[in-house]
Structures are given as structure tokens and as C-alpha cells.
């Protein structure tokens, strides 16, 4: 797996700005812990979402996973970066890291992960830095077709 070109400051700030816009929509009635996320695809489209809690633990959804799903629902499977925003710098949860890994296998590219706070402070790492011993899907042939389908649609 190779690493994408480094993110530029403009991309980082835009991802944080877009993620912060979803704050008012977070549904965190139990914890009052609002997380917002945005995703940058390889073709520079940005998708976003917020966390949605459930009264039953485990049925809620993380903001970053929903943002990825939002990109997928629009036909974008190749991800360049995922950004989360919280009141303080908080890393992406392990379940979401594993979920994002699936999409890194579509393009054979590592994914940039940005953790930001409300004051515009941020940390950047790669998926492989945070998840060095990952569970990879053995048969990536089918996964890679999603990247190819996406390219064919745009032509």
C-alpha cells in the first residue's frame, strides 16, 4: 500500500470547516458527546456526517463511518482523507479504523486521518500508523473493481 500525496493546508482547513458544520445535527442524547466528520475522496469531493446515538448501546453510528457511507452512497469508494472534529483532539475509534481500511484496499492507497478540535488545532496520521496490524481482506480483486467502476462512471 502506498501513501497519497501529502495533504495541503487548504484541504485540511476545508475538511475541518465542513465537519464543524454538522455539529448542530449530531444526535448525542445519551453522552452529549458530539463528533463530526468529513471525508475527502481521491477526486477531491468532500462528504460529511455526524454521530447518531441510540438508546441501545451499539446501535448508534460513528460520524466517520457515516461520512464514509455518505461518500459511498454517492459512488465514491476511493478515499484520500478522513477528518473528525471534537471539543478536544480525539483519535478515530478502532472500529472505524478497521472500516476505513476496507476502502484503502480499493485504491491500494494509505488514507490520511485528521483529528481536529474546535480551536482549529489538529493532528495528522495515516491509517497504517494507527492500525499497523490490520485485518486485511484476502481477496481484494472484488474490492478493486469499485475503484474501476467509479472511474468508468466518470468517463
Please give the tally of structural domains in the chain. Answer: 1
Burial 3-41 (b: 16+ CB within 10 A, else e): ebeebeeebbebbbbbbbebbeebeeeeeeebbbbbbbb
Q: Look up the CATH number of the domain holding residue 128.
A: 3.40.140.10
**Digit-coded pLDDT (tens) for 105-118:** 888 899 999 999 99
Mean pLDDT for 119-142 is 82
User: Taking 90 as the threshold, does the pLDDT of residue 124 lie above it?
Assistant: yes
User: Taking 70 as the threshold, does the pLDDT of residue 151 lie above it?
Assistant: no
User: Taking 70 as the threshold, does the pLDDT of residue 155 lie above it?
Assistant: no
What's the domain range around 61?
2-154
**The model's pTM:** 0.86
State phi, psi for 131 to the nearest 5 degrees.
-135, 65
Strands 2-3 and 109-110: parallel
Please enumerate, as own/partner, the contacts of 11-15 that have beta carbons within 8 Å and a separation of 24 or more: 11/40, 11/81, 12/83, 12/114, 12/122, 12/124, 13/120, 14/46, 15/40, 15/46, 15/81, 15/83, 15/114
Kindly give, in sequence order, each residue whose CB lies less than 8 Å from that of residue 122, ignoring residues fewer than 6 positions away: 12, 16, 89, 114, 115, 116
Amino acid at each position: 500500500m502506498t501513501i497519497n500525496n501529502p495533504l495541503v493546508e487548504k484541504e485540511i482547513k476545508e475538511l475541518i470547516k465542513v465537519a464543524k458544520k454538522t455539529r448542530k445535527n449530531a444526535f448525542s442524547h445519551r453522552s452529549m458527546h458530539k463528533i463530526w466528520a468529513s471525508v475527502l475522496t481521491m477526486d477531491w469531493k468532500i462528504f460529511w456526517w455526524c454521530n447518531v446515538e441510540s438508546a441501545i448501546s451499539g446501535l448508534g453510528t460513528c460520524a466517520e463511518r457515516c461520512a464514509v457511507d455518505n461518500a459511498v452512497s454517492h459512488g465514491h469508494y476511493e478515499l484520500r482523507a478522513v477528518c473528525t472534529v471534537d471539543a478536544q483532539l480525539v483519535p478515530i475509534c478502532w472500529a472505524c479504523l478497521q472500516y476505513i481500511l476496507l476502502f484503502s484496499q480499493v485504491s491500494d492507497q494509505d488514507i490520511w486521518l485528521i483529528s481536529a478540535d474546535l480551536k482549529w488545532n489538529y493532528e495528522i496520521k495515516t491509517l497504517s500508523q494507527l492500525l499497523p496490524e490490520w485485518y486485511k481482506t484476502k481477496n481484494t480483486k472484488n474490492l478493486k473493481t469499485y475503484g474501476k467502476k467509479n472511474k468508468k462512471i466518470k468517463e
